[in-house]
Amino acid sequence: MEQLETKKAPPKSAEYQALVRAGPNPRPLQQLHARLIITGCHRSRALITKLLTLSCAAGSISYTRRIFHYVLHPDSFLFNSLIKSSSKLGFSLDALLFYRRMLASKIAPSSYTFTSVIKACADLSALKIGRVVHSHVLVNGYGSDSFVQAAMVTFYAKSGALDVARKVFDEMPERSVVAWNSMISGYEQNGLADEAVVLFKRMLELRVDPDSATFVSVLSACSQLGLLDLGYWVHEYIVSNGIRVNVILATALINMFSRCGNVSRAHAVFDSLDEGNVIAWTAMINGYGMHGYGVQALEIFHRMKACRLAPNSVTFVAVLSACAHAGLIHEGRQAFATMRQEYGLVPGVEHHVCMVDMFGRAGLLSEAYQFIKELRREELVPAVWTAMLGACKMHKNFDIGVEVAEHLISVEPENPGHYVLLSNMYALAGKMDRVESVRNLMIEKGLRKQVGYSTIDINNKPYLFSMGDKSHPETNEIFCYLDELMWRCKEAGYAPVPESAMHELEEEEREFALRYHSEKLAVAFGLMKTSHGTTLRIVKNLRICEDCHSAFKFISVVTNREIIIRDKLRFHHFREGSCSCLDYW
């Protein structure tokens, strides 16, 4: 096929209008391409550019490349059109190939070029290539272009190079909302939710108007940190400023309210949606599930199916987890069977873990063990065994528990959590010599137990506590208040659960260790700093211990307060001497 020398043609020609009518549809475009060749119009630069961009938009990237191969002397407009189209439509590698051809053709890239090429690098997380493109930006004099800088911030943030992203961000003379969003999102998605919140507050101080994309990232940060007050403020800002709540923003609100302990507000947002997608429905199911409201989670699931919206694999993880936390064994079995039978979905690791967890929590250890034995070898991942081990510890089945723990240590010898669980199993079985040997093995390997901490948000300011923490300026007052509080609880019938403390400690030392757990310190501080009737909301990075769970039921009585604890697995709502989990956790 001859190479094509493109010449300009009137953009309103019949051929051009035919291309516009065809749109991004492969078959009509191929027919029109043939017609252009027959009539000789394929040499028109305007027509070939339109054909190429429509072909790319249609997803026919290989066909686009073939046409482009025969274009002789393509100009910057054609290159930029192809680079932008391919980058925008997710053909990131092709965008970089077109850029490479552009440089080989000695055509200087523009700001327009760089924004699209950098986006392609960001989508590929191609840090090395992106750094090269960054050098091209500087060489070509676009280092201070606000659009290019915003793209660079997005690229470095998505690639995890947050220090570089922040450096580029700080050097921007004028920051668009896109740049702010990229930096906030970068912090949030890389586990630095606190930095995301700080930057958002700085954004407001500088009177930069946030948009829906800003709020999606900020709400996700609130979810991670348990910042319900800030989440309330964001929701009120959205409503008062008439910002359209699309399904993405609504899902972020549902997740935030659910993960911050207000599932009824999450449901209100969910009900306000005109038409939700599978992600929004799944978020609502998951929200009810993590609070232990399994029946309500299943009601949403059945409503979803009645609306003929097909659940996906993530939906079934939410459903099975809800069943596990609420003891709905029959319903969990049905949901698991439904995956294959009705929707043709193959259960994955997460679904298997949920099933083992569900059987284990209910005390059906034999059934859980049999379920594991029926899995294929490649499905026997550590997470499945960890769920089994947790069930063995909960129901004090030492024989199976020790066997499972020793297996886990053999496959994941550097995971300190397995050693801790094995040590606990030995301690509960009274085999203190084995406890000592496991602890010594951890020391030899340089492994340490994960440090537990709890946070409480008061007046939009988070406070963090660890066990026995004395770093707070009001430590003496907090300890004294907690001592008095626990005395009042003992008067009401509370008795410490010594199994929750380290087994090598003496009895008095155990009680001391139990009293100053991080979540108890957080609760004491919250009671000191909030008015009567205020609900306390605590976030803990580990699973709440049995002693704290028992203590908070009594604290809710003697203080007449509601206490909500979000641990690593679920929520616990303590009210009037009982917990929402009904001690099923």
Rounded mean pLDDT, 148-159 = 92
Per mean pLDDT, which range of 107-111, 209-213, 233-237, 495-499 is the poorest? 495-499
Two structure tokens written together for 484: 């008095």
Helices first, then strands: H and E counts in the chain: 30, 8
| Helix, coil or strand: residue 71 | strand
**Block residue for tokens 């290989």:** 62
DSSP reduced 3-state for 376: coil
Residue 126 tokens read as 């191609």
pLDDT in tens, 111-140: 989 999 999 999 998 999 999 999 999 999
For 242, the 3-state DSSP assignment is coil
pLDDT tens digits, 260-291: 889 999 999 999 988 778 999 999 999 999 99
Task: Give percent above pLDDT 70 in the chain.
Answer: 84
466 beta partners: 453
Question: β-strand 536-540 against 563-566: which pairing, if any?
Answer: parallel
Confidence (pLDDT) at 523: 95
| Whole-angstrom Cα Rg for the chain | 30
The answer on pLDDT for 406 being more than 80 is: yes
Look up tokens 């009120």; give the residue: 236
Let me know how long the chain is.
585
Cα separation, 86 vs 67, in Å, equals 14
Q: What percent of the chain has pLDDT over 90?
A: 49
Name the one residue in this structure whose structure tokens are 């699973």: 543
pTM above 0.85, yes or no: no
530 and 560 Cβ atoms separated by less than 8 Å: no
Residue bearing tokens 């506590």: 465
Confidence of residue 23 (pLDDT cuts 50, 70, 90): low
Q: SS3 for 547? A: helix
Q: What is the mean pLDDT of residues 341-352?
A: 94
Confidence bin at 14 (pLDDT 50/70/90): low
Provide the token pair at 246.
């699309």
Determine the Cα–Cα distance for residues 166 and 449; give it in Å rounded to an integer.
33
Pull the structure tokens for residue 577.
Answer: 């001497």
What is the predicted pLDDT for the residue at 1?
43
- Strand partners for 539: 455, 566
**Closest CA relative to residue 115, chosen from 136, 106, 104, 128:** 136
What pLDDT band is residue 62 in, cutting at 50, 70 and 90? low
